[in-house]
Structures are given as C-alpha cells and as structure tokens.
Structure 1
Amino acid sequence: MLSRLPLVLCVLGTGDAFARAAVTVNVASTLQQIDGFGVSQAFGRAAEFRDMLSGQPQQQGLDYLFNTTTGAGLTIVRNRIGSGTSGSDSILPQSPGGPTAAANYSFDDDDRGQMWFSRQAMKYGVKTFYANAWSAPGFMKTNNNENNGGYLCGTPGHSCSSGDWRQAYADFLVQYIKFYNERGIPITQLGFLNEPDFVATYSSMQSGASEASSFIPVIYNHLEANGLSNVSLTCCDAMGWNTQRSITQGLVSAGMERYLKYITSHMYTSDPTSVISTRLKTWQTEAADLQSRWCATWYSNGGLCEGMTWANKIHNGLANANLSAYIYWQGVEVNQFQASSYLVASDGKTLTPSGRLWAFAMWSRFVRPGAYRVSTSGSVSSTGITAFKNTDGSVVVVFLNSGRSQQNVEVGFRDFAPATAEAFVTDNTRAVAAVVATLSGGTVTASVPALGMLTIKLS
C-alpha cells in the first residue's frame, strides 16, 4: 500500500477560482520520438514469476506490468542473451573448437522463462523486444570465462591463441534472434554489450569505443546477410550516462552512427540529465534501486526506493536528456523483500505494487510507442512538465509537482483543438486515480497535487 501524507490545499486567490499557472502545449513543435517504457525478468526471474505464481496472482502480476487500465502499461521487454556453460543459459554452452568451426547451436524453448514472459507481454500488445548480451561465451574471450570481464578475442589489442572470435560472436547473436523469430517473438533491438566499463563476478565483458567499433560492422553485416536488417543495433549499456557519453564520442568519431540506431546506458553511476551528442535515439536501458530494502512508498523523505524519486528520474530523462525509452531492471519478484530492484513484490499469494510502478504508469499508460514529445511554454512553480502527441492524435500532458503546495494549472494548445479531457493523479493516497479536469473553450484547468503527479489526456 502507498504510504499516506496529508494533502495540502493551497488557496492562492479569491473568488470562484484558484490562481492558475498558464501553460501552452505547442503540439506541432515535435522533439524526440518515444519508443516506450519497459522492464526485464532476466537471470531466471521470468521462470520464477511463472513457476512461483499461478492463477490469479500470476495474472495480477502481468496486469500490474502491462495492463493499460489497471497497471503501468509497459511496452518494452529486455531479455538477456545467456552465455553460460549450460544449455539452459546459452545456445552454445561449449566451444566448437575454434572460431571457424561449425557451431552446434541448441535452444531449450524456455530461455529461463524469458520465452514465456515475452509471449505474455505480447498478449498485451507489446511489440518491442530488446535482446541484450551481458557477455560473449567464455571461450570467445581473453580470460576464457564468461564472468569477470575479459575482452572479445580479435578486438584491437586483444588477440587470443584460439583466434579471432568476432565473426563467431556475431553468428551466435544472430542465431539467438533466429530462435526467437522462429517461435513468433520478433527481436527488434540487439545489444552485444552490457556494462562494459564494469568487471562483474557474473557474466560480463569489457569494451571501450575502439573494441566496440571493431565489432559493430561485423554484426551489422551479419544481420543484413541473414535477412535481419529490421533488427536495430544498440551500444553500449554503460554503467552510467557520463561514461556512455564518453564512449559515444569515440563511436561517433569512428563513424559508427551509420550502423547503430540507439545509444543505450544505465544510471548506476550517473543519471541521464543532459543530451548526448549523437543523431541516434537514446535509451535508458537499466535503472533500479539496488541499495534499499523493499518499499512501496510514493513519498516519505526522498529516498531512492520511493516513487516520487523515480518520477523525477524519468522526467529528467525525458525532458533534459531527450530519452526515447526508460527501462527499469526487474518487474515482479517473489519472496525477495530485501531489495527495491523490482517494481512489484509478492509473497506467492499477495502482490504489492510499488510507488515506482505508478511513477512509470503516469507516463507509460498514456504515452504510447511512436508518440513524439512536443514543446511547452509557461511554467508552474516547483513543477516539471512534459507533453506528447500520440500516433492516434491524442495529446498527453504530464505534471510532476515536487513542492509541498497544490498547483492549479490552465493548459492551452497550439495546433490542436481538444474535444475531451481525462485526468489522473498519483500521490501518497492515490495511484493513477481519475480526477476532474475542466475543458472549456479549448483550455483545460486542473490541479496538480503536492508531492505528486497529474496526467491529462486529451483527444
């Protein structure tokens, strides 16, 4: 349950209306395109979700993630391409003997539950599936281990006695995509690195811009040769935005923008708060609270586990870094109450959504894939504003009030004549709850709760 905080009503004027801040949405002034908001169930979490929850609890968990009426309406699934030494974690658990030897690929039709999770997401209309490798198989790397970093053999400065494994790694990634496509799950984005600036005790592989640039044309051409030109390449899922900015400078200098479609990053060492210089779309592909015990709170003291904190992170990413997507780490966890690295918790029977889930919902439920962010003018005290135009012509305006006083707003439009208006609020007592927004003469008036959010959808 959301924690409760008294709602402060601030009367700013006299007469028949509160004093209102005026905002204009310039619908024809488009900014970045929005691909969506998403989640992962990697490292077997998808199988746990499937096997430890059943019936109504399982359905409720899926609804919390993907339902556009009762949940967050998420639209992206990020799956891990396994690289381990067992058939359940990798399609090539053993070396074929050399980089040019025939690979004996096999697929268990489960992928640690990710096949099931992807199919469930598709039932809700999800069409974006990001396949991301944490590492190449160990026998393709300088340390001969999928764990503890190491570099891909054959990249600049990293030769191996076994040979150059770049083409073999490209084939490994393409075959994974084929296995999914053959089973009716279209992989739309492919990442070949994950946190290449961090050496982890689990699957991990190091890379800088130079190493990545030596592999990107190889995987690009192999996708083309296999009729997979519709799969978009990403790079490089660095630990933080600032590191990814530096890597991107190297990629751009090396001419890699012609091959890539997305620059991707995590937020663990630095949040996306400013634009990276690239003509490519940018995605925040992994974000989570890895420090706090589980909490469902919307706002208490501004802690990292709280929904309001994450609403600010998402807002800054969209408004200041021009993100096209924002993906949280994990969706549903069972019997794991020691962390807030997931959006929904369950004891096997009861599910508890977090304030973080509702922060995502205030955008994802209403701002759908293909929408464009549009510009706004005017300001509201202590309040961030983002606005979007969906492909169906509807317009969405999202207000995030970090102040302790209710803000009353009047929203006008250019190049758009609203006919209907719906409004929803999230704060310490409500989660995406319908409220009144008055539409008159093409202008909408509504109130943004203190320490809360207001989303208005107009058609």
Structure 2
Amino acid sequence: MMIKKIIFGLTGILLASCANDIDSTKTTANTESKTKNSEVFTPTQATLYTTAENTTLRLSNQGVSTFTEATQPLETDIAVFVNPNKSFQSFIGIGGAITDASAEVFAKLSADKQNELLNAYYSEDGINYNIIRTSIHSSDFGSESFTYIEEGDADLNTFSIEADRKFRIPMIKRATGLIGDDLMFYASPWSPPAFMKTNKNMLQGGKLLPEYNQNWANYYVKFIEAYEAEGIPVWGVTLQNEPMATQRWESCIYTAEEERDFLKNYLGPTFEKAGLGDKNIVVWDHNRDLISHRANVIFEDPEASKYAWGIGFHWYETWTGGDAKYDNLGSINESFPDKNLLFTEGCQEKFDATAYQRWSNAERYGNSMINDFNHGTVGWTDWNILLDHTGGPNHVQNFCFAPIHADTRTNELIYTPTYYYIGHFSKFIQPGAKRISTTTSRSTIESTSFQNPDGKIVTVVMNKTEAPIDYKLIVGTHEIKYKILPHAIQSLIY
C-alpha cells in the first residue's frame, strides 16, 4: 500500500491517502470463515492514525511501529487478537446519501467550498467514500414534497426527473466523477404518489393500494432508466424506506407478507421484463429490531428470495429505550448466508447548533460500524452528507446532524468528529477487502479488521472510556504495544 502525506483542506490536519487501484467487483454474499493453511501472514510494521477528543488529532498519522514476537498475554493484559487465517464477508464500501437537502445546501456554497466538500468525501485525499444513496422523488430532507408525475397519472405518461436536475443530479454527477469505477449508487422510495395510497397522502404512513402494485413497480423502472440516461449507473434499489414507520413525513407501510408479495409478484418480475434483472433489490430498509422477522418471511419464500440481493437496516431501534440489536444481524448472517447485510441509514437526531463537536455523536458511529461489520455487514451508508446551520432543510422540521455542516450565512464548512470517525474505516478499507477474525480481551475497547486486496490489514480500535488504555495488538505470532487515548479511535495499517 502506497502512503503519501497531504495537507487536507482548511483544517490543516495531516492525513494519509491510500492508493486505491482496485477494480469494482460484483458483490458476493457472505461467506463462511475459511482457514488459509497455505498462507502465513507475518506483519512487520504498522502505521497508526488517531482521532481523539480534547486533542488536535484528526485522522492524524502518528508514525510507524515495528512488530515483535508475541508472548503469552496475561489476564491482566488488554489485547486485540487478529487472526488473518479466518476471513468472512467481502466489503463493498462506505458512503452517505445525497438528498435534496444536501444538494440544496451544496448549491449555496462558493465554488471553492463545493470542491472542498466533494474532495473531503470522495477523494483519496479525503475519506474515500464510494457509496451514494438517494431518494426516489422526495423524502423529508428537502424543501418540499414532490413526485415525478402529475397526480393521478397511473400510466406514468408525465414521468420526469426534471425536479432532480436543478440541484440533486448535478451534485451526484460531480461525486460519481470523483469515485470512478468503485461507485455503488442506489435509491430508495419514501412513499408512492398520494393517489396510489390508502390515505391519499404521501405523508403519515398509509399503504399502497393493491390496484396500483404494477404501476408502482413500473415507477422504479422509470426512475432507473431516467437516471441511467443521465449517465448515473444505478446499482439497485431498496424496496421501501422504513416500511413499519408511520411518519409525519413521506412514509408507506408494508407488512412482511405485503413486502414479500410485492417483491415476488411485481417488482422482481417487472425488473426482469424491463431488462433490469441485474439490478439489486434490498428489502426491509428499517431498524434492527424487527429485521429477523422480515428476513424470515421474505427469504424463506424461494420465489421472493430469488429477487432479493439482501436486507438493509437502520440504527434507530434504540428509540424504545433498549440497546442496539446487533445480535439480530448475526442471526440473519448465520441463517441466510447467501444474503447480504447493508446498513442503509443512520444519523444523530435532534440537531443542536451548539453541539457540532459533541463526541458521543461520533462514538455512536464508531460503535455501530464496528459491530455491524463484525456481525456480517458488507457496506455502510450514512444519511445526509451535508446539512446547513439549522440541521436542514427539512420540510417537516425533522432537523438532524450530518458529518459536515455548512453555515450558508458565512460560507463555512463545519467538520464534526463523526466525519473523522467514519474516515477511520472508509479511508483505509478498500472495496473487495475481506473481514478477518478480530476479538478483544476487554469490553473497554472495540475492534474490527479487514484485509485489503493488496494484502494489507486495517484494524480499527475504539476507546469510549474516560481513561487511556494500554493494549497489545496481537496478529498471529507477532505483537505491538499501543496506547489509545480516552474517547479515541485508531486505524492500524500493516
């Protein structure tokens, strides 16, 4: 792996840029652990990058350390154990959503700030995103609610993505131009048009009326064809954003059986008939709490399952007061090893302009990414990549945080700790990498590891405690001793 040092944007922070010259590959399903007896990985040196609270460290290169022969760890030692001989799922990438809100804010920035924002996310000098999600017509994040057709046009004769050409498509095109061959672009609907629903409203839930099943399936096809005519290759779609949430914004309810039957009888066959059988369909696209039931109902039906690439999920199940349900992901990974797990959305809710640098926001990301990957997830998609100084725009006042905010009054970009925490994964782990066995001896630190196609291993370690932690990184028969600062995250490349 080639490492070069650069000065990043206006932050003046030393980052590392990893050369990424791999070709984009078709995602494979999660695989069982395998032992590579014929290969012995012997690490020699590791480069350390750190982000830490109450310091100036932000994805900062802290130099190179040398491995020595490992000794038997004691019960009093804190250690991260990496076994390169045990590999699991293939990694497809990390990214975020270019929503109408993100694009509207982006359009208000000066040309130099627009370039800075795009490079911060999509270049190797930034954090190297390769995944983009967007909405099929409107979501709550944008100035208005809209569709691509005139109300009542069931035959879709008036279908047009002209509304997206003002802000959204130009921003997406600039991002995809920076990403190149590793691009993974997918889209999600929040609601069918009002006339197709039981409540005659795009907002406040409601269901798709059965007589419009085929028309709605045709709508996805129209979207894909229109975006690809713009030169934006579409990897796939999710069937419905948050299908069990009646929201005050665009939303639509599907039971597990209703989603199964729409996939089996309409969306899957319609894609095939339109020559779009190579497009990937992701089901559920909601929280981890009910995900197992949705997987069981859809994946146990062979005629529905054949159309599903995998299952998508969000992190908001904690709204009920419980902990994140990572174990449900592991259960799906074990039960349906031919299906993929994709994190499709997460953000910190309840925007507060005084809390841009709130560290717990970033640690929520680090905890989720480590545990989602360790339970079989192949890719990870943040929500809005950019919001303004109000946490919007949002046409129903559902204001939230993003990794980067723009104060459009001053033309300033505000980098939150979340941006750097995501970068500890997205900057160094390459599409096509394999997750490898990684465990810790204490609950005070969390860790995951991937081996890139060039053979280099990236181990991410996070400390959410108030104290610094001395630990050993033990890789096979070799080790390095490290210290991780309080409320810090590290990437080790070796």
Shift, 1:443, TM fit: 4.7
* Structure 2 residues without counterparts, runs of 5 or longer: 1-10, 12-51, 58-75, 319-323, 393-398
Distance verdict in 2 for CA 1:446–1:77, change over 3 Å: same
Match in the other structure for 1:4: 54
Q: 2:183, 2:389 → 1: CA distance?
A: 29
- State the 1:350 CA deviation: 1.4
Alignment of 1:363-374 (within 5 A): 363-374=425-436
Give the root-mean-square deviation of aligned CA atoms: 2.8
**1:391 to 2:453 alignment:** yes
Letter in 1 for 2:350: Q
Amino acid at match of 1:451: H
Partner of 1:310: 365
8 Å CA contact 1:448, 1:454 repeated in 2? yes
Map 1:86-105 to 2 at 5 A.
89-96=146-153, 98=154, 101=155, 103-105=157-159
Is 1:286 aligned to residue 342 of structure 2?
no
> Could you tell me whether the CA contact under 8 Å between 1:31 and 1:372 is conserved in 2?
yes
- Counterparts of 1:152 and 1:63 in 2: how far apart (Å)? 40
CA distance in 1, matches of 2:331, 2:168: 31
Aligned to 2:220, which of 170, 173, 179? 173
| Aligned partner of residue 165 in structure 1, secondary structure | helix
Q: Cα 1:298–1:291, aligned 2, differ >3 Å: closer, same or farther?
A: closer
Match of 2:381 among 316, 327, 347: 327
| 1:344 aligns to 2:404 (yes or no) | yes
Residue in structure 2 matched with residue 454 of structure 1 by the alignment: 490
Q: Secondary structure at the match of 1:297?
A: coil
Q: Does 1:118 align with 2:172?
A: yes
- 2: CA distance, partners of 1:185 / 1:3: 39
TM-score (ref. length: structure 1): 0.79
- Match of 2:133, as an amino acid? R
Matching of residues 265-304 of structure 1 within 5 Å: 265-270=313-318, 271-274=324-327, 275-277=330-332, 278-279=336-337, 280-294=339-353, 295-297=355-357, 299=359, 302=360
Instruction: Note closer, same or farther for the CA distance 1:354–1:37 as it changes in structure 2 (3 Å cut).
Output: same
State the AA in 1 paired with 2:491. T
Q: How far apart in 1 are the matches of 2:200 and 2:138?
A: 12
What percent identity do the matched residue pairs reach? 22
| Counterpart Cα distance in 2 of 1:24 and 1:372 | 16
Decide whether aligned partners of structure 1 residues 180 and 336 sit closer, same or farther in structure 2, where only a CA change above 3 A counts: same
What amino acid maps onto 1:357 in structure 2? Y
Count of aligned residue pairs for this structure pair: 399
Asked if structure 2 preserves the Cα contact closer than 8 Å seen for 1:410 and 1:445, the reply is yes
The Cα offsets for residues 107-135 of structure 1, whole Å up to 9 and x where unpaired, read as 31735622122212212215111110111
Q: Letter of the 1:169 partner, please give it.
A: W
Unmatched 5+ stretches in structure 1: 8-18, 155-163, 415-440
Residue 244 of structure 2 aligns to a residue in which SS? Answer: coil
CA separation of 1:111 and 1:210: change in aligned 2, threshold 3 A: farther
Query: Does structure 2 retain, via aligned residues, the 8 Å contact 1:83–1:137?
Result: no
Is the Cα–Cα contact under 8 Å of residues 439 and 448 in structure 2 kept in the other structure? no
Moved more, 117-126 or 349-358: 117-126
Q: Is the 8 A contact 2:440 2:447 kept in 1?
A: no
Are positions 1:67 and 2:123 aligned together?
yes
Question: Which residue type is aligned with residue 390 of structure 1?
Answer: N
For the Cα contact (< 8 Å) 2:343–2:377, is it kept in 1?
yes
Letter in 1 for 2:418: R
Take 1:64 and 1:102, find their aligned partners in 2: how far apart are those partners? 39
* Aligned residue type for 1:267: W
CA contact (8 A) 2:388 2:406 kept: yes
Query: 1:452 corresponds to which letter in structure 2?
Result: A
**Offset of residue 173 of structure 1:** 0.4
AA aligned to 2:240 is L
The answer to which structure has the higher helix fraction is: 2
Matched ranges for 1:423-438 at <5 A? none
What corresponds to 1:361 in structure 2?
423
1:242 aligned residue? 289
Q: 1:170 to 1:6 in 2, by over 3 A?
A: closer
**2: CA distance between counterparts of 1:124 and 1:143?**
42
Moved more, 400-409 or 357-366: 400-409
Cα distance in structure 1, aligned partners of 2:463 and 2:160: 51
How far does the alpha carbon of each residue in 1:397-426 deviate from its partner, in whole angstroms, 9 at most, with x for none? 111122334334443445xxxxxxxxxxxx
Report the 3-state secondary structure (helix = DSSP H, G, I; strand = E; otherwise coil) of the residue aligned with 2:289: helix
Cα 1:20/1:296, change in 2 over 3 Å? farther
Judged with a 3 Å threshold, the aligned counterparts in structure 2 of structure 1 residues 80 and 354 are, in CA distance, closer, same or farther, namely same
- Aligned amino acid, residue 124 of structure 2: T
Aligned to 2:307: 259
Q: Contact 1:263 / 1:281 at 8 angstroms: preserved in 2? A: yes
Residues 323-370 of structure 1, C-alpha deviations (whole Å, 9 max, x = no match): 222222211122325854211112131111111111111111111222
Q: Distance in 2 between matches of 1:328 and 1:359?
A: 12
Q: Give the SS at the match of 2:377.
A: coil
Match of 2:438 among 372, 376, 381: 376
**Pair 1:95–1:55, CA change in 2 (3 A):** same
